[in-house]
Amino acid sequence: MKNAARRIYIALIFIFMYAPIATLGVLSFNASKSRAKWGGFTVKWYVSLFENEEIMRALWNTLSIALISSLVATVVGTISCIAIQSMKKKGRAIVMGVTNIPMLNADIVTGISLMLLFIVLGIRLGFFTILLSHITFNIPYVILSVMPRMKQLNPSVYEAALDLGASHVQAFFKVIFPDILPGVLSGFLMAFTMSLDDFIITYFTKGPGIDTLSTKIYTEVRKGIKPEMYALSTIIFVVVLVLLFLVNRTPKDKPAK
Amino acid sequence: MKKLFSLVLCLVTTACLFAGCGSSDKYPNGKVYVYNWGEYIDEETIKLFEKETGIEVIYDEFDTNETMYPKIEAGASNYDVVCPSDYMIQKMIDNDLLAELNWDNLPNARANIGAEYYEQSLAFDPGNLYSVPYCWGTVGILYNTTMVDEPVTSWSILWDETYKDSILMQDSVRDLFMVALKELGYSMNSTNESELQEAKELLIAQKPLVQAYVIDQVRDKMIGDEAAIGVIYSGEAIYTQRENPNLAYVIPEEGTNIWIDSWVIPKNAENKENAEKFIDFMCRGDIALMNFEFITYSTPNTAARDLIEDDDIRNSEIAFPDLSKYDKLETFSYLGEEADTLYNNLWKEIKSYTSY
Amino acid sequence: MNKKMLSLPYLFWCAVFIIIPLCMVVYYGLTDKTGAFTLANIAAIATAEHAKALWFSLLLSFAGTVICLLLAYPLAMILSGMKVSQHSFIVLIFILPMWMNFLLRTMAWETLLEKNGIINTILHFLHLPALNIINTPSAIILGMVYNFLPFMVLPIYNALTKIDNNVVNAARDLGAGSFQTFSRIIFPLSLPGVISGITMVFVPALTTFVISTLLGGSKILLIGNVIEQEFTQTGNWHLGSGLSIVLMIFILINMVLSAVFDKDGEGATL
Residues constituting chain C: 270
B44 touching A (Cβ < 8 Å): no
What radius of gyration, in Å, describes the C-alpha atoms of chain C?
22
* Neighbour-count burial of B151, counting CB atoms closer than 10 A to its CB (0-12 exposed, 13-18 middle, 19+ buried): exposed
Q: How confident is the model at residue C54 (pLDDT cuts 50, 70, 90)?
A: very high
* pLDDT value at residue C268: 28
Predicted confidence (pLDDT) per residue in A201-229, tens digit: 998 888 777 889 888 887 777 667 888 98
Q: Hey, are the CB atoms on C100 and A16 less than 8 Å from each other?
A: no
Helices (H), B20-80: 43-53, 65-74
Return the minimum-mean-pLDDT range out of A113-127, A187-201, B64-78: B64-78
* pLDDT value at residue A222: 64
- Shortest alpha-carbon distance between residue B90 and chain C (Å): 16
Q: pTM of the entire structure?
A: 0.84
Euclidean distance between CA atoms B147 and B285, whole angstroms? 40
Out of A18, A100, A117, whose CB is closest to C20? A117
Q: Are B195 and B181 in contact (CB under 8 A)?
A: yes
Euclidean distance between CA atoms B112 and B300, whole angstroms? 8
- Shortest alpha-carbon distance between residue A118 and chain B (Å): 9
Find, among C70, C131, C105, the residue nearest to A17 by Cα: C105
Which residues of chain B make contact with C219, given a CB cutoff of 8 A? 207, 210, 212-213, 351, 354
Neighbours of C149 (CB within 10 A): 24
Q: Kindly state the percentage of chain C with pLDDT values over 70.
A: 93
Q: Hey, are the CB atoms on A209 and B19 less than 8 Å from each other?
A: no
Q: Hey, are the CB atoms on B21 and A60 less than 8 Å from each other?
A: yes
* pLDDT value at residue C2: 61
Out of A19, A136, A252, whose CB is closest to C85? A252
Q: How many CB pairs under 8 A join A and C?
A: 239
DSSP letter at A174 equals I
* pLDDT value at residue B318: 85
Euclidean distance between CA atoms B12 and B88, whole angstroms? 42
Which residues of chain B make contact with A256, given a CB cutoff of 8 A? 1
What radius of gyration, in Å, describes the C-alpha atoms of chain B?
22
Q: Are B179 and B325 in contact (CB under 8 A)?
A: no
Q: Are B265 and B287 in contact (CB under 8 A)?
A: no
Look at residue C49 and tell me whether its pLDDT is greater than 80. yes
Element (H, E) at B213: strand B210-214
- B47, closest residue in chain A (CA to CA): A53
Predicted confidence (pLDDT) per residue in C157-166, tens digit: 988 988 888 8
The complex's ipTM?
0.84
Largest Cα span, chain C? 72
Q: How confident is the model at residue A85 (pLDDT cuts 50, 70, 90)?
A: confident
- Shortest alpha-carbon distance between residue A209 and chain C (Å): 19
- Shortest alpha-carbon distance between residue B255 and chain C (Å): 26
Top pLDDT among C249 and A244 is at C249
Q: Are B283 and B109 in contact (CB under 8 A)?
A: yes
- Shortest alpha-carbon distance between residue B353 and chain C (Å): 8
Q: How confident is the model at residue A145 (pLDDT cuts 50, 70, 90)?
A: confident
* pLDDT value at residue C56: 94
CA B100, B103, B106, B108 torsion-angle sign? positive
List chains adjacent to chain B, taking adjacency as at least 3 C-beta pairs closer than 8 Å.
A, C
Q: Are A157 and A171 in contact (CB under 8 A)?
A: no
Q: Hey, are the CB atoms on C116 and B225 less than 8 Å from each other?
A: yes
**How distant is the alpha carbon of residue C83 from its chain centre?**
29
List chains adjacent to chain A, taking adjacency as at least 3 C-beta pairs closer than 8 Å.
B, C
Euclidean distance between CA atoms B72 and B35, whole angstroms? 10
Cβ neighbours for B332, distance < 8 A, ≥ 6 positions apart: B85, B86, B87, B174, B178, B188, B189, B257, B259
Q: Hey, are the CB atoms on A182 and B1 less than 8 Å from each other?
A: yes
Return the minimum-mean-pLDDT range out of A145-159, B329-343, C95-109: A145-159
Look at residue C93 and tell me whether its pLDDT is greater than 90. no
Largest Cα span, chain A? 72
Cβ neighbours for C197, distance < 8 A, ≥ 6 positions apart: C68, C69, C72, C151, C152, C153, C154, C155, C156
Q: Are A153 and A178 in contact (CB under 8 A)?
A: no
Neighbours of B78 (CB within 10 A): 17
Strand, helix or coil for residue B298: strand
Find, among B81, A18, A195, the residue nearest to C108 by Cα: A18
3-state SS string for chain C: CHHHHHHHHHHHHHHHHHHHHHHHHHHHHCECCCCCECCHHHHHHHCHHHHHHHHHHHHHHHHHHHHHHHHHHHHHHHHHCCCHHHHHHHHHHHHHHHHCCHHHHHHHHHHHHCCCCHHHHHHHHCCCCCCCCCCCHHHHHHHHHHHHHHHHHHHHHHHHHHCCHHHHHHHHHCCCCHHHHHHHHHHHHHHHHHHHHHHHHHHHHHHCCHHHHHHCCCCCCCHHHHHHHHHHHHCCHHHHHHHHHHHHHHHHHHHHHHHHHHHHHHHHHC
Top pLDDT among A53 and B264 is at B264
- Which of B48, B62, B77, B247 is the best mutation test for A, with the most CBs of A within 10 A? B77
Predicted confidence (pLDDT) per residue in C208-241, tens digit: 888 998 899 889 999 989 988 887 788 788 898 8
Long-range contact pairs involving A81-85 (C-beta distance under 8 Å, separation at least 24): A81/A142, A81/A143, A81/A146, A81/A147, A81/A150, A81/A180, A82/A150, A82/A172, A82/A176, A82/C3, A82/C6, A83/C3, A83/C4, A83/C5, A83/C6, A83/C7, A83/C10, A84/A143, A84/A147, A84/C7, A85/A147, A85/A150, A85/A151
Task: Please spell the DSSP secondary structure of B79-99, one letter per residue.
Answer: -SEE--BHHHHHHHHHTT-BP
Pairing of β B132-144 and β B56-62:
unpaired
* pLDDT value at residue A256: 40
Look at residue C264 and tell me whether its pLDDT is greater than 70. no
Q: Hey, are the CB atoms on A207 and B15 less than 8 Å from each other?
A: no
* pLDDT value at residue B21: 46
Residues constituting chain A: 257
Predicted confidence (pLDDT) per residue in B115-169, tens digit: 999 998 998 999 999 999 999 999 999 999 999 999 999 999 999 999 999 999 9
Which residues of chain A make contact with B4, given a CB cutoff of 8 A? 185, 189, 247
pLDDT (tens, 9 = 90+) of chain B, 356 residues, equals 555 556 666 666 655 555 544 444 678 889 999 999 878 899 899 999 999 999 999 888 887 788 788 888 877 668 999 999 999 999 999 999 999 999 999 999 999 999 999 998 998 999 999 999 999 999 999 999 999 999 999 999 999 999 999 999 998 889 999 999 999 999 999 999 999 999 999 999 999 999 999 887 888 889 989 999 999 999 888 889 988 999 999 999 999 999 999 999 999 899 999 999 999 999 999 999 999 999 989 999 999 999 988 888 888 888 888 888 888 889 999 999 899 999 999 999 999 998 76
Which residues of chain B make contact with A189, given a CB cutoff of 8 A? 4, 8
Euclidean distance between CA atoms C21 and C109, whole angstroms? 35
Find, among C91, C88, C264, the residue nearest to C189 by Cα: C264
Euclidean distance between CA atoms B34 and B60, whole angstroms? 6
Q: Hey, are the CB atoms on B224 and A222 less than 8 Å from each other?
A: no
CA angle B162, B168, B173 (to 5 degrees): 130
Q: Hey, are the CB atoms on C103 and A252 less than 8 Å from each other?
A: no
Q: Hey, are the CB atoms on B19 and A63 less than 8 Å from each other?
A: yes
Q: How confident is the model at residue C267 (pLDDT cuts 50, 70, 90)?
A: very low
Q: Which amino acid is at B153?
A: T
* pLDDT value at residue C68: 96
DSSP letter at B295 equals H
Neighbours of B18 (CB within 10 A): 10
* pLDDT value at residue B271: 92
- Which of C10, C28, C146, C190 is the best mutation test for A, with the most CBs of A within 10 A? C10
* Mean pLDDT of the region C156-175: 86
Q: How confident is the model at residue C269 (pLDDT cuts 50, 70, 90)?
A: very low
What radius of gyration, in Å, describes the C-alpha atoms of chain A?
22
Q: How confident is the model at residue C11 (pLDDT cuts 50, 70, 90)?
A: confident
* Mean pLDDT of the region C194-207: 87
Q: Hey, are the CB atoms on B70 and C116 less than 8 Å from each other?
A: no
Helices (H), A1-52: 2-27, 44-51
Return the minimum-mean-pLDDT range out of A51-65, B69-83, B147-161, C17-31: B69-83
- Shortest alpha-carbon distance between residue C269 and chain A (Å): 7
